[in-house]
Structures are given as structure tokens and as C-alpha cells.
Amino acid sequence: MMRVLIAGANGKTGARVVAQLKRRGHEPVALLREESQRPRFEMVGVETYVADLEDWVDVGAVHPDAVMFAAGSGSRTGKDKTILVDEIGAIHFIDAAIAAGVDRFVMLGSINADPWSEGHKISHYYRAKGIVDFYLQQTKLDYTIVRPGRLTDEPGAGTVDLAPSLGRGGDIARDDVAHVMAESLEVPNTVRKAFDILSGDRPIRQALEAL
């Protein structure tokens, strides 16, 4: 059992990560932006911690064994917010984990993450994700970077197509992304690995162990 702090816990994917961790017997702590978000988690027995990712988060105050970053500015916000949350906020959260002495870090990335992305409608987002991935990979943290394709709200299948680089785009259910992130904590082979995930036919545990 691990005590895990999840940034972005109130988001569509983050909430699923919290549920997956609790279902597996771990102790999730939901990192929330607003006090008003607490009841959603406390009513199901999940501890909460309120802090703003655009400021410094005192990760050490929670005493986690691992941290996960599943936060995002959202598709309806502007480029400035993407930089503040998806890039600067993520980098500050990495630094906060290091300062707190937490070694295990699971990052929700993007399949098209690229620090030099150009020509896409959301290249600013791909650049932000690419910069954060590179930054995380230069640390000594035991990281796992999960890079999904386009996220859907379809029910999870429990199976995926997963590889360091899939070389294509596609969709994947948020349920399956959350499953992969939670399962990564239990599969040593995922440490210091980054990989793409899309909908597929391979059982998630098997796919992770084959990395």
C-alpha cells in the first residue's frame, strides 16, 4: 500500500486515478485547487489537500510515498493558462516532490509531446508537455511518463496498445489511462520509462510488464 498525492484529482482523468488507487488498496490524497471540491472526495473516504499548482505546493506536508501529476489547464483555456499549469505548474510540482524527498513520480503526458512542436492547432500544449517530460527525465526521480492519445469518456476496456513510441495517433478511454497510471506503481518495469498508450487488445498489466 502506498500513500499517493494526486495533482489534478478533481479533473476527469485525475478523479479516475483516485478511484483506481483506492480500489487497489492504496491511500490516495486528492490535491485540490478549491475548498469547495473537498466534499466530493471526503464523502467516499478520500483525504484531501488544498493548494494551487500555480504556487508552491508543500508536498512534504502530506508525507506521500509517491506523487502523480494528472492536472491540466483544459481545452477551453488560453495558451497562457497552458503554460502556467501544464508547464510551469508541472515543473514546480516536480521540484516540490524532490524537495520533499519523494522518489516515485507518475506523470500524465501526451502522445505528441515535443518541446519543438510546430504546425499543430495545439502545438503550445505539445511544447509544454514536451518541456516537462524532458525536465522530469533529467531528474533522479523514479518517474513514469504515461502519454495517451485523445482522451474519451467511454468505459475502459482494461486493454491497450502500449510502447515507447507507437508512431500513430488515436483514442483511449480515461478509465484505461487511470488504470495504467495506478498499475504503474505496482510494476517495477515502468520506472524511468516513458511510453505512448492508445486503445488496443493487450491486457494492461501484461503490456506494462513487457516494456
Q: Among residues 49, 125, 126, 143, which one is catalytic?
A: 125
CATH of 3-209, one of 3.90.1330.10, 3.30.540.10, 3.40.50.720, 3.40.50.2300: 3.40.50.720
Q: What integer pLDDT is reported at residue 120 of this predicted model?
A: 84
pTM assigned to the model: 0.95
126 is catalytic: no
DSSP string, 81-114: HHIIIIIIIHHHHHHHHHHTT--EEEEE--TT--
Q: What does each C-alpha distance from 37 to 9, 10, 88, 160, 201 come to in angstroms? A: 10, 7, 23, 31, 36
Residues above pLDDT 70, as percent of the chain: 97
Q: Tell me which of 12-26, 64-78, 194-208 is least confident.
A: 64-78
